[in-house]
Amino acid sequence: MRIVDRNKNINRGYRKLEVWNEAIAIYTLVYSKLKESSNISYRTKNQIESSALSVSSNIAEGYSRRSLKENIQFVTIALASLSENYSQIYALMKTDQITEDWFLKYDDVHYKLENKLIKFNQSLIEKLESSDWEKNYYINKSKQP
């Protein structure tokens, strides 16, 4: 059994979201690269790790707010953090602190996640417009995660 499949409840439903899992994967990719890079300052590494970790954190926080408008806002923040992370990684590549080959690998993963987050936010906005959103913690047994 995977760890994220344990102890399910309505508040932990974000763990089944593809965008959350891919955000964790991009953080892992970035963290691994920064850990092996000795030529990048601690301060820079810290900022880059923070922006990468912020993506999955904001997806989870927005989901757990139980307000569709807040969920949309937090996914928007996750997108902004993803853009911030791209800018930071790009700057590392431009200053030869990481290789172009590694950057291109990162860019492919980033682009895929970015597009999924955009689509995810668009689907949330459509739900807002149609009012198709569970607003409270009442658990319908057929919809339980």
Q: How far apart are CA 97 and CA 115, in angstroms?
A: 27
Predicted TM-score of the model (pTM): 0.86
Identify the CATH number of the domain defined by range 7-132. Answer: 1.20.1440.60
Q: Convert the pLDDT of each residue in 74-99 to its tens digit.
A: 999 999 999 999 999 999 999 999 99
Tell me, what's the pLDDT at 91? 98
pLDDT tens, residue by residue, 3-49: 887 887 777 889 999 999 999 999 999 999 999 999 999 999 999 99
**Domain boundaries, given as residue ranges, for the chain:** 7-132
Residues recorded for the chain: 145
* Across 55-82, average pLDDT: 95
Who contacts 55 (Cβ-Cβ below 8 Å, separation ≥6)?
23, 26, 27, 78, 81, 82, 85, 113
Contact 10, 145 (CB under 8 A): yes
